[in-house]
Structure 1
Amino acid sequence: MDETYLRLNGEWMYLYKAVDSNGDTIDFWLSRKRDKKAAKKFFRKSLRSPHNSNPRVIMTDKFAATEVTILSEIKLKRLDPKTQHRKSKYMNNIIEQDHRYIKRITNKILGFKHFKSACSVI
């Protein structure tokens, strides 16, 4: 799970994205803010994905909002307490490579003009 920023209709947005161990996209979400509320909304949305209901390992960068979100989901028993949360800025390489692909596309076209076009590329 990671986040990056991109331009959508002239406005900067944060792209939250989750991928599995193969690099396949589990889910994504666009938000105007990068905060605890946005991280929690995205995390809950990604857990509702049919093939991601009970992950064994969650890899994130060291963004504090994701750690708080994961701990609260464990406390609320929406996430298995045995789930490992690995925090490393550099072990999150699969999703960082995916961000590079998206950035390469958006830099050429100066961002997305419509939400639908952003969804089709992401």
Structure 2
Amino acid sequence: MTLRGEPYLLWRAVDEHGAELDVLVQKRRDKAAAKRFFQRVLRSNPVPRKIVTDQLRSYPAAKADIPELVKVKHVFVKAAARVNNRAENIHQPTRRRERQMCGFRDARRTQAFLSCSGPIRQHFALPRNRMNAECHLSILKERLSTWYGLTVPAAADQVS
């Protein structure tokens, strides 16, 4: 992604179901950046059984420096255009949001926005291909009621 004309990289951790675990906006794609990302993901998630990345050599180098990830299996996937994998497809909602907002401008604000919006978006993004319209509507109503139950009282407490 580009922020004020400068290229930034969007690092994402995705689980086996396609749910976004963490996101990090960084300037570089080297060993130190990969190590920073792995440590950030491990702070809030358990140690994975397998890590799937593209063929960048900084991933195994960073993984070797982190004691928790030494025995984790590392699989490399060819990152090319038109490859149907979760890691490449998970960027689509961010790209769509970026177009709607006419681009992001600041790296810290982008990081804060993406860290907050990812879990919220996943709460409402339902797998439409696996359910009919009635099921989709009922699940969406249930999730909206949960959302309002969590957010509306908090807003009322701030006002009073």
Q: Fold match, TM over 0.5?
A: yes
Alignment of 1:22-37 (within 5 A): 22-37=17-32
Which structure ranks higher in relative contact order (CA pairs < 8 Å, sequence separation ≥ 6)?
Answer: 1
Q: Which residue of 1 aligns with 2:57?
A: 64
**What stretches of structure 1 move > 3 A for 4+ residues in a row?**
107-110, 116-122
The answer as to 2:105 corresponding to 1:113 is yes
Give TM-score scaled by structure 1 length.
Answer: 0.75
- Work out the percentage of aligned pairs sharing the same amino acid: 32
Q: Cα RMSD between the aligned structures?
A: 2.3
Cα offset, 1:10, TM superposition: 4.2
* Cα distance per residue 1:54-86 (max 9 Å; x no partner): 11011101011112111222xxx32251x2111
Give TM-score scaled by structure 2 length.
Answer: 0.59
Cα offset, 1:30, TM superposition: 1.0
**CA separation of 1:47 and 1:99: change in aligned 2, threshold 3 A:** same
Q: Give, as a single letter, the amino acid of the residue that structure 1 aligns with 2:65.
A: S
- Mark the runs of 5 or more structure 1 residues left unpaired by the alignment: 1-5
Distance 1:100 1:120 in 2: 16
Q: Which residue of 2 aligns with 1:98?
A: 90
In 2, are the aligned partners of 1:57 and 1:85 still within 8 Å (CA)? yes
* Cα distance per residue 1:6-33 (max 9 Å; x no partner): 1234432111110111111111111111
Distance 1:120 1:9 in 2: 22
Q: 3-state DSSP class of the match of 2:78?
A: coil
Q: Give, as a single letter, the amino acid of the residue that structure 1 aligns with 2:69.
A: L
- Mark the runs of 5 or more structure 2 residues left unpaired by the alignment: 119-160
Cα offset, 1:105, TM superposition: 3.1
Q: Which structure's residues are more often helix, by fraction?
A: 2
Q: Which structure's residues are more often strand, by fraction?
A: 1
Distance 1:35 1:55 in 2: 22
Distance 2:114 2:64 in 1: 31
Q: Give, as a single letter, the amino acid of the residue that structure 2 aligns with 1:32.
A: K
In 1, are the aligned partners of 2:22 and 2:115 still within 8 Å (CA)? no
Q: Which residue of 1 aligns with 2:36?
A: 41
Q: Which has the larger radius of gyration?
A: 2
Q: 3-state DSSP class of the match of 1:66?
A: helix
